[in-house]
Chain A
Amino acid sequence: MSLELLDGGAAMAEAAIAAGCRFFTGYPMSPFTGLLEEMSRRLPAAGGVCLNAESEIEGVNMTLGAAAAGARAATGSCGQGIALMQEAIAEAALNETPFVVFNLARNQQDYFQATRGGGWGDYRTITLAPKDVPEAVEHTQLLFHLADKHRAPVMLYGDPLLAQTRVGVDVQPRDFGPLPAKDWVLDGTGGGTGRSRQIWTWAMGKANDPGPGPDGHWRAIADKFDRIAAEEQRHEESMVDDAETVVVAFGTAAKFVEHVVAGLRAEGHRIGWFRPVTLWPFPGAALRRATTGARNVLVFELNAGQMLDDVRIHAADRDAVRFVGGVSIAESGLSYGPLLDAPAIRERILGGAT
């Protein structure tokens, strides 16, 4: 293993290229911009194409096209830009075009946007929330694998700390196991053979070979997302077995929470932490186990209470669930405010535990 000192944007760019990404689009928006710049610098050398799209809508649809043609492809943005992309993310989920979306947001206020989505139809978006840059490198590569495994658009949900922190990382390619053949890809060779291919959300097929149509296709998609929900849940937990208090947090905030909780445990508090690694599918069964017997299930997130909904759905005792996070934004509007700090989090946790 060799470590390279990279900021988050460069690290994710290298990880994407190592995973075989050969098409990337983006529209500058802080803190996503760094990744776009790194891709535009690094991808051509790897034989790929990076386009500074004229809009997020065009960027995501270019990526959809590249993925439909068989490339490992990705795009990204944050906040309002992701909102513009959601029409196409939903479309790709329903027409089964796999690509990766780097949602490098300004804070944690886009949890609903990432996990619920604003597109149309019965779709879900596999969403991973790395807690730091090394994990983002692993997640980036895993996401390309998951996208191809399930033929679906997938998302990495990060933030300014993830995008801009400089860390020593290992960006070697990782092997996540075999994948199904990409026998659905449009390569242009089907014309005139009677077996031309189509990628179509409504899946109505050709006159000589009718497809399942929207009813059959969309039910199959719903079944697929049920399977993904069962198979792909990931989480981390620590010190929950005897805990009276379990603190639930994701992403960067979880890294701070781990540190604070470890300190409280060392002081003798019966406290542990639980971190959803996949925000969708939410690791509900694991959370139920981890919170069984807990008197306090504290949710710390840097927003007005969004993951809180998922914790309430899955905690062993929903009356034990309390929100101890909050909106905390830097003056610039572009990053977190003072609540993302160990002493402040410690105070919130101690105040929330009964």
Chain B
Amino acid sequence: MIIDTSGPPVLPAKQVADFKPSLLLGEHSLCPGCGEPVALRILLEVLQELDIVQRTIGVVGHGCYGSFVRIMDVDVLQCLHGRAPACATGIKRVRPGVAVFTLQGDGDMANEGLQEVLHAAARGENITCVMLNNGVFGDTGGQQTATTVLGQRTKTSIDGRDPELHGYPIPVADLVASLRGSAYVARGAVSTAAGVLQAKRMLRKAFQTQLDGAGFSLVEILTMCPTGWFVPTAEGPTYQQGTMEQTYGIGELVTR
């Protein structure tokens, strides 16, 4: 979206207070420069804008974003590492009128739980899976995940991810997009303001897909992790743009 700055704004500027979704019960406890709280915020805003706050259940995996369970004013099942799409399936099948989403990291979804998400997508399970992909195990201090990009330094690939030694990163959204049960699949990034707005539109479409009963939806969101990338905080967005966003590409992969 291009914002026209040649004249006064058409819409009144938002008050700062408007920027805090009422579904947030407190401050997050993640590192400065982290992209995950940004993703959480747009996710919660989408729930409010779609007016489904009181018919939504979140299923949260394990990673830094697990701490969001304490600050999200949403019914939540905190589940085992990687298993969120399976748990979400059980919830959705017995409460089809409730919007069910998962919130998982790349370690959770691409490492521990790849088969859970692929099978849920193949079944066309009417849920929305959200993967926050920062290419690193942030919670445990910066080790290599299945989505760590080539050349990226982590504590378990200290000289950079080498395909000869560590293999290649997994493009989760692309894998999911290849399955017939997927009705909406997109990959966004929160490294720029425009990217945040785009990712929010993707989340909105994903939830709308579920509300329409159209099938499985997934949004992969690339999020900054300067701590786990061992780069200065302020360089997180630039680093992400030059590495992960080059590897994975941003955009919609499936719209049905």
Contacts and interface: CB of A to CB of B under 8 A. Distances in A.
Contacts of A57: 83, 86, 116
A63 interface: yes
B25 A192 contact: no
A189 B78 contact: no
Given A62-B87, A187-B95, A204 B75 contact: no
B22 interface: yes
Given A193-B54, A198-B78, A200-B78, A23 B94 contact: yes
B190 interface: no
Interface stretch (B32-40, B65-73, B170-178, B227-235): B65-73
Contact of B26 (A55, A95, A208): A208
Contacts of B98: 69, 187-188
Contact of A69 (B95, B99, B115): B95
A189 B91 contact: no
Interface in A201-223: 201-202, 204-208
Nearest to B120: A58
A49 B93 contact: yes
Interface in A226-280: none
Q: Binding site of B, secondary structure by majority: helix, strand, loop or mixed?
A: mixed
Contacts of A23: 90, 93-94
B90 A192 contact: no
Contacts of B55: 188-189, 191
Contacts of B47: 191
Contacts of B74: 190-192, 196
Contacts of B27: 207
Interface string B12-34: 00000000001101110000000
A199 interface: yes
Contacts, number: 157
Interface residues of B, number: 40
B53 A191 contact: yes
Contact of B91 (A59, A68, A88, A198): A68
B80 A91 contact: yes
Nearest to B81: A87
B247 interface: no
Given A66-B90, A188-B75, 7 more contacts: A22-B94, A64-B79, A65-B79, A71-B94, A187-B95, A188-B99, A196-B76
Interface of A: 22-23, 25, 49, 51, 53-55, 57-59, 61-71, 73, 87-88, 91, 95, 186-194, 196-202, 204-208
What are the 9 A-B residue pairs with the smallest beta carbon separation, nearest first? A65-B90, A207-B26, A65-B87, A66-B90, A61-B86, A188-B98, A62-B90, A191-B53, A200-B78
